[in-house]
Amino acid sequence: MRKSEFTRAVVDEFGEAYGRVVTRDLVLSALGERTSDEALAHGVPPHEIWSALCEAEGVPLARRHGAGLPEPKR
């Protein structure tokens, strides 16, 4: 997962406004007591952040895998 895919997944799952709040303010113990934004700034891989965020927010497993990928070109 790339950073752009992480950002897209957050917006798709939480919406633009709440997505900004959750990545900025939600401290995740799985990320060493960091927010998603802090973890990204410290070089934590986006897929690890996405997993931790999904776990904390109760995102169903069916919506975690493949999240953030762009639509295939036709």
Q: Which pLDDT belongs to residue 55?
A: 95
Q: Is 5 exposed, middle or buried (0-12, 13-18, 19+ CB in 10 A)?
A: middle
Q: How far apart are CA 2 and CA 67, in angstroms?
A: 11
Point out which residues pair with 34 in neighbouring strands: 28
What global pTM score does this model have?
Answer: 0.88
Q: Has residue 73 got a pLDDT over 80?
A: no
| Of residues 26, 3, 11, 13, the one with CA closest to residue 65 | 13
Q: Which pLDDT belongs to residue 17?
A: 96
> What is the band of 20 on the pLDDT scale with cuts at 50, 70, 90?
very high
| Of residues 51, 61, 55, the one with CA closest to residue 6 | 51
Average pLDDT over residues 3-14: 94
